[in-house]
Amino acid sequence: MVAKISIGSSLYGALCYNGEKVNKENGRILGSNKIIIPVDGKADIGQMAENFRLFMPKMGKTKKPVLHISLNPHPDDRLSDQDFEILAREYLDKLGFGEQPYVIYKHEDIDRHHIHIVTVNVNEEGKRLNQDFLYQRSKKITTELEEKYNLHKAQREKISPDTPITKIDPTGDIKRQVANTVKMVGMRYKFQSMGEYNAILGLYNVRCDTADGRVNGREYHGLVYFATDDNGNTIATPFKASRLGKFASRTAIAGRFERAKEKIDVAPTKRKVADALSQSSGKDDFVTKLKERNIDVVFRYTDEGCIYGVTFVDHDTMTALNGSRLGKEFSANALNARFNQQPQPTEVAPTATVVPIPTPTNTTSESQSTSSAGTAPSPTQSQSAHSDSGDYDFTLLGLDLFQPGQSFNPDEEEFRRRMQKKKKGIRRRF
């Protein structure tokens, strides 16, 4: 059995976390001490918080008076609700918190059922209880309970170089799986940016986001980890890096960025990607050929479906590389142009239309007749039509003789302009 102890300042936060599990039918309240439990079994979080305050009206100088403890038996230990409650009460008695106000919750949101205990480490006078060697004492107590009740002994999970990294199993212990994935990815792979880091984590349904802000006037910069499904949707409450371990912290990951710069050799990956790209007939074929070379490629798309980012994860060299690190021809822009080509409209050169000029006789009647027939609109009508339609072909019907045609010589025109400027300059002097 594994006991995990968190010491914090927010009593309401601990009660709310567990109360929501109960009220969403993902848990139940097994028992309490000095705290009133509703008859219907629901968690009245506000009333519970008030009960706690009645028994500890003075908080004194203790800044973190809340203990949030979880007891996690081995998955093969099948315990009843009564067994869980007996273990929790005996554990608290041996730890020295048996007379404190507390609530025992059972969580059933994952296959491995376990219990949480919320209590406080200050007495009614506001004095802090003995917390010396708290974790060592806790470990000794769980060992004694394992022997007394014939439970499986807790064994620390060992991670070897051969331990496979697998996708998150929603029915298992999600926090433990996320922690193991983050630890093994950090141990084995080389990456130099958050995008490359997330490209690897995403293969195993984990995502990492940066968290920056201010709390009580102080800046904080951390990381938050998410368990996802195959479509990238979050499937569990996110975990702060501090809940997983120091190996998951922003400082640790930034250190891996720096160390990777000296170790990464892009040449092997570049050769394989270039070879796959030269033989591929399209994007899907490119992805397939990369997998044959033990490389996963992660594309990032805009809402319009354009590729704006690409990362190659080479499982042979254990390296993640953004496309631009391999060369311009492997960048997101280059691959988007290659795989998302749109046929360009063929430009047709405008052709001059010659309209016969009417003879002076009967000009008005012929013009009216031509206009009513709808075959040759007047120049004014043509200008209006082009303006309304947004068509910027400036060839005006009936006036094409004044448009630059094959007889237009740009060199002669330039010479003429220079001569005009020269004449203007001479006139200005005189």
Domain boundaries, the chain: 2-148, 174-263, 267-339, 347-430
Q: What is the pLDDT of residue 354?
A: 40
CATH number for region 2-148? 3.30.930.30
Q: What is the pLDDT of residue 219?
A: 74
Task: Measure the CA–CA gap between 47 and 119, rounded to whole angstroms.
Answer: 15
60: Cα within 13 Å, side-chain hemisphere: 14
Task: Measure the CA–CA gap between 119 and 67, rounded to whole angstroms.
Answer: 5
Q: What is the pLDDT of residue 292?
A: 96
Contact 218, 284 (CB under 8 A): no
State whether the Cα torsion 19-22-26-31 is positive or negative.
positive
pLDDT digits (tens, 9 = 90+) for 209-231: 998 876 666 777 889 999 999 99
Task: Measure the CA–CA gap between 208 and 228, rounded to whole angstroms.
Answer: 11
Task: Measure the CA–CA gap between 120 and 129, rounded to whole angstroms.
Answer: 9
Residue reference for tokens 């998951």? 248
Rounded to 5°, the CA angle 138-225-320 comes to 120
Rounded to 5°, the CA angle 241-243-244 comes to 70
Q: What is the pLDDT of residue 383?
A: 40
Contact 206, 228 (CB under 8 A): yes
Q: What is the pLDDT of residue 62?
A: 76
116: Cβ–Cβ under 8 A, 6 or more apart, which residues? Answer: 18, 68, 69, 70, 71, 104, 105, 107
Which residue, 185, 186, 191, 195, is CA-closest to 299?
195
Q: Which amino acid is at 152?
A: H
Burial class from Cβ neighbours inside 10 Å (0-12, 13-18, 19+) for residue 102 reads buried
Instruction: Tell me the pTM.
Output: 0.54
Task: Please identify every stretch of the chain with a pLDDT value under 50, giving residue numbers as ranges.
Answer: 342-411, 430
Q: What is the pLDDT of residue 63?
A: 81
Contact 269, 326 (CB under 8 A): yes
Which residue, 154, 137, 4, is CA-closest to 73?
154
Task: Measure the CA–CA gap between 181 and 172, rounded to whole angstroms.
Answer: 14
Q: What is the pLDDT of residue 162?
A: 72
